[in-house]
Amino acid sequence: MKVKSKLADIDFEFGRFEYKKDHLIIHSHESQSMQSKVYVSPDDIISAAGKALANPKVWLYLLGFPFFLIRYRRRKKAKLATHKEQP
């Protein structure tokens, strides 16, 4: 997952999950140089789900997800192959 902001552009890889004081805590993967945690409250889940389900673009993405997944993985594989070929 890419997180872009004025402060930084971060590739966030999911690591372990934890539950603490009514919050879901998502830790970044151990291999990441900048360790981070995302705290998700029950209100965050309700808000995100409500906004996502009310947006037609989210529904279109979910319907097209199998296609997008295959296309993404093919492009990523081709990109990696191109980088390996270059000296």
Q: 76 is written with which tokens?
A: 């990523």
65 and 75 in a single domain? The answer is: yes
19 and 60 in a single domain? The answer is: no
29 and 59 in a single domain? The answer is: no
Instruction: Tell me, yes or no, if the pTM score tops 0.85.
Output: no
> Across the strands, what pairs with 65?
none
37 and 61 in a single domain? The answer is: no
Per residue of the chain (87 residues), give pLDDT as tens: 787 888 878 788 899 999 999 999 999 898 887 788 899 999 999 999 999 999 999 999 999 999 999 999 999 998 888 877 666
Q: How many domains does the chain have?
A: 2
- How many Cβ atoms from other residues are within 10 Å of residue 38's Cβ? 15
Kind plus residue range of the DSSP H or E element containing 10? strand 9-11
Domain residue limits at 37: 1-54
20 and 40 in a single domain? The answer is: yes
